[in-house]
Structure 1
C-alpha cells in the first residue's frame, strides 16, 4: 500500500473513534454527595464568609466566657434592621410616603462597599490604554477557519523549536565518491523537476533536506546520486502534494536509468535511515509567514524566494536554520526594494533581532554578486521569467552601502 493511502487509512481509523469519545465526555457530570470530604453544596453570599470571619470568632469567644445562650448586641441590631426593612417593603405596596423615608434611613445605616482608591484606578486605566509594540497579523483572519489564525503563532513557534532537531553539519568528507559540485548539479536538476511537474515549492525544499540528511548518515555512490534525488522528490511529493506524480514519471525523468525495484529499495532505505521522521521544517514555510507579518506584496515575496532558493545549491548554507535563513532573505529583499527594514512586528513573530541577521545578510548579498556557474542556471533562469516578476534581474545591494547601514542600524 502506498504511503499516502496508509496515512489516510490511519487518519480514518483515528478520527472515526473520536465522536463516541466526545459524546461520552459530554455526558459526564460531577456530583458532590453530602458524604464527600467537601460536604454538600454550600450557599453563601459573595463576601459574608470573608469579611465577617474575625467578628464571628470574637462573638464565639464572648458566648463561651459568659456561658449559656447569649445573644450579642450586634445580632439584636441585625434582627431589628431586618424587621424594619420588612415593614418598609410592606408599606411600599400601600404607596405611603413614610415607607420611602424609612427606606432612605435604612440605606444610610447599611454598610457601604469599600471604594477603590483613585491611585489604583489610574494605574489600571494606564495599563489598558498602553498600546502593544507589535501588530497582531492574525486578528483580521479569525473568521476564516481554513487559515487557523488562532493557532498560527503556536504552530510556527513549534516548528522553530523542532528545527533544532534537524541541524546539519558538514558531511561531504564522508562521501568519498562525491563532491560539493556534484551535489549542486543534483539540486539544480531537482529544481527543473519541480518546475516541470509543477510541484509546490515546499516539496522542493523538503526533497533537498531529505537528500542532505540521508547523505549525512549514509554513504552514497556516484551512480545512485540521481536515484537518491528522484526518490527524495517522490517522498516529499507524497508528504506535501495532493496528487503526487506516479512512480513511472520519476523513472521517465531519470531517462530509464533505474528500474522500479531500485526506486522502491531506495525509498525504503531513505525512510529507514531517517527513521520515518521526514517532517523537516523548511525555510519556504517560514518565509511565507514572515512576509505576511511584514505586509510584503507578492513581488517582494518572490524576490525573497529567489534569494532563498539560490541557497539550496550552496553547500555552505546547509547548517543554517530555516527560520533564520527565511528572516535574512526577507530583510535583504525589503532593503533591495527600499521598503523599510526590521520592525517590532517581525522581531516578535520571528524571534530574531536585527543584529542576529547581520552576518547572514552579508553572505546572501555576496551570493547575488557572485558570477553564476554555467552548470547551475535553473534557479536564475526560472526567476528571470515574467511570471516571477523577473526578480533575478534586480541588481544586488552595494556592499559599502550595506555595511554603512548595518553599522548605523537603520535598516
Structure 2
C-alpha cells in the first residue's frame, strides 16, 4: 500500500502515567450520519430507516448533551506534556484526515480517533516520537468500534512508512484501551452535528460547509475547552453563515442567523455559549484553508467539487450584533 507521508521528527514507547464490540456500535446505530458518503449524488435523509431512528432524534440529542458534561468535564492537557505541542497535534490530525481517506473509513471513525488521542494524552505523558504511534493506534481502535471492516495491522504499520512494528502498535493499543477503560461510545462533535443538521433541515452545501468547520475544529486544540455540542453548534452556524455570505444579497448578523436557523432546535444552547467557539474557529479555519498553510488536508478535501468547493469560498467578516 502506498503510505501517506509523515516525518518522524515532526512528532521515542513507553507511555509514562501522569496521574468487544458488535459490528455497529450504539453510537453508530443511533447517530450514523446519513450523508457520510457525501458527493455529487448526495442522498436524501433516510428518515424512515430504523437504524437512524429519526423519530427519536430530539431525545438522542438531549442524551448526548447530558452525557458530554460527564465525559468531557476537563480536556486540556498540553501544559502537562513534556514534549508534545499544539503544533505537533495539528500535524497529526491533518495526517489522520489523509489516513482516513486512504483507508476509506467513515467520518465517525475520524472523530472518535481524535477523541481517543485527546483523552489518552490527558492521562499519559508521551515522547514526541511516539505521537504518530498514538495516532495510528487511535484510528485502529476507532475503526474496530465503528467499522465493519477495520484496517489490518499491516496496513496500519505501512501507512506510517514502517516507522513502528506491529508489536509496538499492539502494545500501544493495550495502553489506550486500558487508560480509557474501553469507553468508546461517546458523544463526539460529529453525531451531535449530524443530529443538529437533521433537525435544522440544512441544505447539502451547508452540510459540507459545516463539516469543513468541524474538521478544522478537530485541529484546533484550544477548542477542547468547550463541550462538543458547543463546537458542533458553532460549526453548523458558521457553515450556514459562510454559504449565506456567498449566495445571498442580504447581510445578516451571526446572532440573528442563530436565532432564526439554529436556536429553535438547539436544546437550550445559547448564542453566548457558541459565540466564543465561532470567534476562534472562523479565523482558524480561514488560515487553515489558505494557500500559505502547511496543513493542506482540509483545504484539499473541501476544495473539491465533491464537497461543493466550500473551502474556496470567501470567508465572511463576523458581525454579532442583533
- The two structures have a TM-score, normalised by structure 2, of 0.77
Task: Tell me if the contact between 1:368 and 1:396 (Cα under 8 Å) persists in the aligned partners.
Answer: no
Per the alignment, residue 109 of structure 1 pairs with none
Task: Name the CA distance, whole Å, in 1 between partners of 2:271 and 2:96.
Answer: 33
Per the alignment, residue 209 of structure 2 pairs with 303
The C-alpha deviation readout for 1:288-328, integer Å capped at 9, x for no partner, is 21112221111110001001111111211122211111111
Q: CA deviation at 1:355?
A: 3.5
Per the alignment, residue 295 of structure 2 pairs with 376
Per the alignment, residue 273 of structure 2 pairs with 356
- The two structures have a TM-score, normalised by structure 1, of 0.61
Per the alignment, residue 407 of structure 1 pairs with 321
* Partner SS state of residue 316, structure 1: helix
The C-alpha deviation readout for 1:51-87, integer Å capped at 9, x for no partner, is xxxxxxxxxxxxxxxxxxxxxxxxxxxxxxxxxxxxx
Task: Name the CA distance, whole Å, in 2 between partners of 1:393 and 1:365.
Answer: 14
Q: CA deviation at 1:343?
A: 4.7
Task: Tell me if the contact between 1:293 and 1:345 (Cα under 8 Å) persists in the aligned partners.
Answer: no
The structure showing larger relative contact order (alpha-carbon pairs under 8 Å, at least 6 residues apart) is 2
Per the alignment, residue 11 of structure 2 pairs with none
The counterpart of 1:271, out of the listed 159, 177, 193, is 177
Q: CA deviation at 1:365?
A: 2.0
Q: CA deviation at 1:142?
A: 7.4
Aligned length: 269
1:347 and 2:263 equivalent?
Answer: yes
Consecutive unaligned residues of structure 1, counting only runs of 5 or more, are 1-5, 12-139
Cα separation, partners in 2 of 1:171 and 1:154, compared to 1, 3 Å? same
* Partner SS state of residue 278, structure 1: coil
Task: Tell me if the contact between 1:187 and 1:208 (Cα under 8 Å) persists in the aligned partners.
Answer: yes
Per the alignment, residue 321 of structure 1 pairs with 227
The C-alpha deviation readout for 1:188-244, integer Å capped at 9, x for no partner, is 111110111111111111101111111110111112111110000000001111211
Task: Tell me if the contact between 2:83 and 2:126 (Cα under 8 Å) persists in the aligned partners.
Answer: yes
Per the alignment, residue 385 of structure 1 pairs with 304
The counterpart of 1:154, out of the listed 46, 50, 59, is 59
Runs of 4+ in 1 over 6 A off after TM superposition: none
Consecutive unaligned residues of structure 2, counting only runs of 5 or more, are 1-19, 26-44
Task: Name the CA distance, whole Å, in 2 between partners of 1:348 and 1:395.
Answer: 28
Q: CA deviation at 1:141?
A: 7.7
Task: Name the CA distance, whole Å, in 2 between partners of 1:355 and 1:222.
Answer: 37
The C-alpha deviation readout for 1:133-172, integer Å capped at 9, x for no partner, is xxxxxxx987543331333222221111111123233211
Task: Name the CA distance, whole Å, in 2 between partners of 1:368 and 1:396.
Answer: 9
In our comparison, the structure showing a higher alpha carbon Rg is: 1
Task: Tell me if the contact between 1:207 and 1:232 (Cα under 8 Å) persists in the aligned partners.
Answer: yes
Per the alignment, residue 239 of structure 1 pairs with 145
Task: Name the CA distance, whole Å, in 1 between partners of 2:137 and 2:299.
Answer: 25
CA RMSD of aligned residues (A): 2.3
Task: Name the CA distance, whole Å, in 2 between partners of 1:266 and 1:146.
Answer: 33
Per the alignment, residue 50 of structure 2 pairs with 145
